[in-house]
Amino acid sequence: MAIATSATAACFGGTMGFYSHPSESTGTAMRFAVFQPPQAARGPVPALYYLAGLTCTEETFAIKAGAQRFAAAHGLLLVAPDTSPRGAGLPGEDDAWDFGTGAGFYLDATAEPWSRHYRMARYVSVELPALIEANFPARADRRGIFGHSMGGHGALVTALRAPARWHSLSAFAPIANPVAVPWGEGAFTRYLGADRTAWAPWDASLLLRERPYPGRILIDQGDADQFLESQLHPAALEAAAAASGQDLLLRRQPGYDHSYWFIQSFIADHLAHHADRLLG
């Protein structure tokens, strides 16, 4: 599959690059970012995928998180896809910041017209890893995934639905129980239809009660997060983990909000968590 290179630059002894390709899953061009650590010059390394939140792009994590320094130290290849299809031409896709463009919610839409293009789950879990492993020095047997907010939801659901494909998992301030909060209800109603029973396979707290992940899950949540009570509901995930016996480390961080200042503050811990599982 053809990949177009938008830009590359030297970074911590490796290479930071931005790319695009025609996606079979979405039927649109999709953009993504890849950091190749210096160790990748000697052979394939584990890949760690990051899913960004509402309104973000493939550039957000690469520019704001400060992860490349730690990925270079551990020898992890970082991959960050865009957060939705763009330019699909669907009516209403650009009308709201929390739905449509920039808000794909990492699910496979089943309701028209969104099912024609908004198949981000298949893109992230199947198409993008195959593309990365065919074109970059990434190991096919060691993949990790993490994300923030909507992307934290996406990382949890992606790994819980296919644990054999994802060997490490963490999240920053995930939308932990989307069927019960306004962001999730608004998106799921339009992407999946009004039947709420069809929503359960895309809710991490519901999935975790039925199928615990085979390994520790690390989650950081700021206690000054402006969306904590209204949108995130980490307690639902904690309760699900307790019910299923999941090994969950959910750290409530005093004074931290929902921003990338929060992510920067704990990104080293998350890279170490993934490195321990992907390289240990």
Instruction: Give the residue numbers marked as catalytic.
Output: 149, 225, 258
> What CA–CA distance (Å, rounded) separates 248 from 232?
16
Q: How far is CA 165 from the centre of its chain?
A: 14
The H-assigned helical ranges of the chain are 58-64, 68-74, 120-122, 128-135, 150-161, 182-192, 204-210, 234-244, 260-279
Residue 78: enclosing H or E segment and its boundaries? strand 77-81
21 token code pair: 């390709």
> Residue 197: which H helix or E strand, with range?
none
Cβ contacts of 194 within 8 Å, gap of 6 or more: none
How many whole angstroms separate alpha carbon 145 and alpha carbon 51?
Answer: 8
Handedness of CA 11, 15, 21, 25 (dihedral sign): negative
Distance CA 203, CA 223 (A): 22
Closest CA to 23 of 85, 78, 93, 79: 85
